[in-house]
Structure 1
Amino acid sequence: VEAVGPEVRHFKPGNAVFYAGSIARPGTNSEYHLVDERIVGRKPGSLSDAEAAALPLTAITAWEMLFDRLDVKRPTPQGGDVILVIGGAGGVGSITIQLLRALTNLTVIATASRPETQDWVRNCGAHHVIDHRQPLAPQVEALGLGAPGFVFSTTQTAQHLADIVALIAPQGRFGLIDDPDELDAMPFKLKAVSLHWEMMFTRSLFGTPDMAEQGTLLNEVAALVDAGRICSTATDVAGKIDAATLRRVHARIESGSTRGKIVLEGF
C-alpha cells in the first residue's frame, strides 16, 4: 500500500496486500492501482509477491462458486458427498481442489488429460482423476461412487454439457465460469438440476451490499496458506509486465495446455 483515502479503516501505507481488483477500474497491467479496501486482503506472509499474486482472482472465483453458489456445505439429496471439477489443472481448478480438501469432506473427482497435468491435479488433492478428452459420464460411473451431487465446470462447458446432464445426480447443483456461445439449460429440467454462474467481479462491479465478503475470504485464504493447508498455484514467473511478455503469455494460456497460474512480475 502506497497511500490510502480518508475513509480507509483496515489498511495503511506499507501494508502488504493482495487482491483481484475491479473491471470497472484500470487493471493490473498498470504499475499502480486504485482499489476499494473492501475487496483487499492481507498478503500471506509465507509467500513471495509473485506466489501471492497467483491467488486472488482464482481463489475468489473458487470460493464464491463453492460456498456461495453451489453451497457445497449443504448436501444435495443424492451424491452430496461427491463433486466433479472439470478442468482441474487450470488456475481456478487447482485452487478449487485445494479449498475442497481443506474446508470440506467431499470426495473430489477432477479432470486432466496429460500425465503432467494429472500429476498436478493429484498433488492439489484430487481423490480421483479422469480424462476430459474422453467421455466423462462412463468414467465417473466406473469409479463406483454414484452420481455426484455437484459439478463445477471451469472450461469447455459446451463440449461436456451432454455428459454433465447424464452424470449429475437428480436435484444436483451445476456451476460454470466459462462463456459458451450457447447454453441450453432445458436438459437439466428432468433432474431438477440448479444452474449457477459465477463471476467474481460482480460484487465490485455493482457495489453489492456484501462486497466486503471478498476481503474477508482473501484473509481466510491467506490464513490457510500460512497454516500450510493450501499452496500457491503459481507455476511460472514468465518475465516482466510489458507488451511482448503479455502477448507471449496470453498465447500460452489460449493454447489450453498450461498448469496453475502464470505470473508476471516487475516493470
Structure 2
Amino acid sequence: MKAIGFRKSLPIAEMESFIEFETAKPSPSGFDLLVKVGAVSMNPVDFKVRQSAAKDIILDEPKIIGYDAVGTVVSVGEKVGLFKEGDEVYYAGDLTRSGSNAAFQLIDERIVGTKPKSLRRQEAAAIPMTGLTAWEAIFDRMKVDINKAKGKSILILAGAGGVGSIAIQIAKQVAGLTVIASASRDETQDWCKSMGADFVVNHHDLQSEMKRIGHKEVDYILDCVDINGYWEALNDIIKPQGHIVTITGSNAPLNLMLLKNKSVSFSWEFMFTRSMYTTEDIIRQHEILNEIADLVDKGILKSTLKTELKGFSVENFKKAHEMQESGKSIGKTVIMF
C-alpha cells in the first residue's frame, strides 16, 4: 500500500522531510478495524512528532504518522462488535501505533465513531481530535454540569485554532456557558464569532480586555496556546473555586501555589491518554465521537474545516505541516486522498 512518512526528523523545507513509499497492508485482529483512509486533518501533534521522533537517528523503516482520519471499514478483528465492513468512520488515532498517512490503517474500534452522516469526508476529518480534546476538557476535566451552567463563563485561549474552534461550540451550544475567546487578528476574531463566541478579547492585553467586556473573572479557563506565558494572568482572571485546564505542555514547573487561596483546580487534558494506557473507560471516546456526530447531524455543532488540500502527496503534507508550524492557521486543514 502507499504511505507517506519519514526516516529522519528534518525541517519541513528539506526534500526528505516526507517521503512516499510502499509497505505491506496490515491485517486486523482483536478489536482492530482495517480502515481505507479517505481524508486526514492536521494538528500540532503531527509536526511535533515529525520534528522529534527521529531527531538524532535515521530509521530503518519510515515512520508513518497522522492521527485524525475518516474512512471506510474494509475488514475487522475477531473481537470487533461495534462496526462492520462498509461502515463510514472517523477517529483521532493512537500515538503508539502506525498513523493515518497511509492508504490503510489499523485502529481500535473503541476509539472510533460513526462519521456524521450530514458531512462530507473532508468536513468530518476536521473534527475527531479537537472534538475529543474539547469535550474531555469541558466535561471530564472541568466536570461542567449542563444543568448548573447557566450564568457561568469560560475563557478559551486561542479560540481560532483547531481545539478552540470546536471548544467554543461545545461550551456554548452543549454546556450552555458564556464563551469568551481570545484572538488578536481581525480574521481570527471574526472566525471566533462565527463559531459562536459571545465575546472576543485580544490576548496581548488579557486582563485589560477582560475588564473591557465586563468579565473581570471567569469560572473556567481552557488554555490552547501557552500555559507558561499566561499563567499569572490566568490566576488573576479565574474565579475562586474555578477550574483551569490546559492542553499545552510546560517547559518549566508551574507555581501551583498561586491557586491556593482561591481553591482553584488545575488539570491537564491529553486526548491520547485513554488509548495510550488502554484505560478502563477507553470506549468513552467511541461514545463521545458518536455524541458529537449526532450533534453535528442535528445542526448544533459544525465542522471547523478551513483549508482543503486535494491529493495524497508529499507536497500536500509538507504544505499542511508548514501551515501548522506557522502558528497562524485558522480552523482545520484537511488533505483529501
- Range class of TM-score, shorter chain: over 0.9
Unaligned runs of 5+ in 2: 1-72
SS of alignment partner, residue 113 of structure 2: strand
Q: Whole-Å Cα distance in 2 between the matches of residues 126 and 168 of structure 1?
A: 18
- Structure 2 counterpart of 1:258, which letter? S
Partner of 2:244: 174
Which aligned pairs between 1:100-249 and structure 2 lie closer than 5 A?
100-132=171-203, 134-184=204-254, 185-249=256-320
Unaligned runs of 5+ in 1: none
| Structure in which a larger fraction of residues adopt strand | 2
- Structure 1 counterpart of 2:209, which letter? Q
Q: Whole-Å Cα distance in 1 between the matches of residues 318 and 90 of structure 2?
A: 24
- Structure 2 counterpart of 1:172, which letter? G
Change (3 A) 1:162 1:241: farther
Q: Would the aligned equivalents of 2:217 and 2:236 in 1 still touch at CA under 8 Å?
A: no
Q: Would the aligned equivalents of 1:112 and 1:130 in 2 still touch at CA under 8 Å?
A: yes
Change (3 A) 1:241 1:178: farther
Instruction: Indicate the structure (1 or 2) with the bigger Cα radius of gyration.
Output: 2
Q: Whole-Å Cα distance in 2 between the matches of residues 261 and 40 of structure 1?
A: 19
SS of alignment partner, residue 60 of structure 1: helix
Q: Whole-Å Cα distance in 1 between the matches of residues 179 and 315 of structure 2?
A: 38
Q: Would the aligned equivalents of 2:146 and 2:176 in 1 still touch at CA under 8 Å?
A: no
Q: Whole-Å Cα distance in 2 between the matches of residues 162 and 243 of structure 1?
A: 42
Q: Would the aligned equivalents of 1:76 and 1:172 in 2 still touch at CA under 8 Å?
A: no
What per-residue deviation string (whole Å, max 9, x for no partner) do you get for residues 175-215 of structure 1?
00011211422322232211110011100110001000000
- How many Å apart are 1:247 and its aligned residue? 2.1
Q: Would the aligned equivalents of 1:171 and 1:194 in 2 still touch at CA under 8 Å?
A: yes
Partner of 2:69: none
Q: Would the aligned equivalents of 1:46 and 1:226 in 2 still touch at CA under 8 Å?
A: yes
Q: Which moved further from structure 2: 138-147 or 101-110? A: 138-147
The one of 90, 104, 108 equivalent to 1:18 is 90
Partner of 1:56: 128
- How many Å apart are 1:245 and its aligned residue? 2.1
- How many Å apart are 1:74 and its aligned residue? 7.3
Q: Would the aligned equivalents of 1:75 and 1:81 in 2 still touch at CA under 8 Å?
A: no
The percent of aligned pairs where both chains have the same amino acid is 41
Q: Whole-Å Cα distance in 1 between the matches of residues 226 and 202 of structure 2?
A: 13
The one of 13, 27, 45 equivalent to 2:99 is 27
How many residues are treated as equivalent by the alignment? 264
SS of alignment partner, residue 159 of structure 2: coil
Q: Whole-Å Cα distance in 2 between the matches of residues 207 and 48 of structure 1?
A: 30
Q: Whole-Å Cα distance in 2 between the matches of residues 117 and 74 of structure 1?
A: 28
Q: Whole-Å Cα distance in 2 between the matches of residues 129 and 145 of structure 1?
A: 11
SS of alignment partner, residue 50 of structure 1: helix
| Structure in which a larger fraction of residues adopt helix | 1
SS of alignment partner, residue 241 of structure 2: coil
Q: Whole-Å Cα distance in 1 between the matches of residues 236 and 147 of structure 2?
A: 20
